[in-house]
Amino acid sequence: MRDSVFILEATIDALGCNIDEFPISKSSFQRIRTEERKEHAGNIKIYFQNKVPDVVTLHSDGKLLPALSARKSKEERLPIVISYGLKEQLIAVPRMDNSTGKEQEQAFWKTILDWNLEDKVQILCCDTTALNTGRFNGACAILEQTFYRDMLFFACRHHVYELVLKAVFEVKIKQVTTSPDVPLFKKLKENWKNIDLTKIQCYRETMELFLHGIVPGTQ
């Protein structure tokens, strides 16, 4: 804020104008900013509501972000995005005091009503944590009850791929762990400098050899 005021003062002075004739205090600068942002946000909402189709998808994923009210502190925020076709629109980023399915559902519903989307949100897309997909207390289950209709759930593809990879990993490597440091991978990382990279054969090349009836290392 202070830097913005300094830049404005320098610009007014460079243009040969009288600084005293302009409201350039930090408080007035903040007030004008707030008014302009509010007007711009209102225009975005009106344009979106005039273009939105009858069926849209609601996306969400909580993030820990720097707090607006205090320095060097963080707070939980819930970005809420509406998508349809190839278009996306961020409609809210509410602060979450308690990360529970009920509070998250209330944030969803308040935002949906604010944007007049209660008849248009038909699909929910989120990650696969219990907070979202819990059978009784998950935000999606509670929101579906609030809608009084069935919703289509789309699990985030990123998390679906993680579950598939985890299943393959546990079957093939037999090292089940909740630690982010998998012992086998850690050992590989530590010894990477000693590996002859010219002898590494990628998975795709190995599969092609098998498909042609060739056992790697025997040709």
Q: How far apart are CA 167 and CA 161, in angstroms?
A: 10
Q: Where are the domains of the chain?
A: 1-51, 54-175
CA dihedral for 100, 104, 109, 110, sign (positive or negative)? positive
54-175 architecture in CATH? 2-Layer Sandwich (3.30)
Asked if 94 contacts 61 with a C-beta cutoff of 8 angstroms, the reply is: no
- Residue whose structure tokens are 């990360």: 99
Provide the pLDDT for residue 218: 57
| Mean of the per-residue pLDDT values of the chain | 83
User: What is d(CA 65, CA 79) in angstroms, rounded to the nearest whole number?
Assistant: 11
Q: What is the pLDDT of residue 28?
A: 78
Beta-strand pair 80-84/56-60: antiparallel
Per-residue pLDDT of 199-217, as tens digits, reads 776 666 766 766 666 655 5
Lowest mean pLDDT among 13-27, 28-42, 147-161, 202-216: 202-216
**HSE-CB of 212 using CA atoms within 13 angstroms:** 8
Is the CB of residue 56 less than 8 Å from the CB of residue 82? Answer: yes
pLDDT digit string (tens) for 101-144? 999 999 999 999 999 999 999 999 988 888 888 888 999 999 99
The pLDDT of residue 180: 64
Structural Rg of the chain based on CA atoms: 26
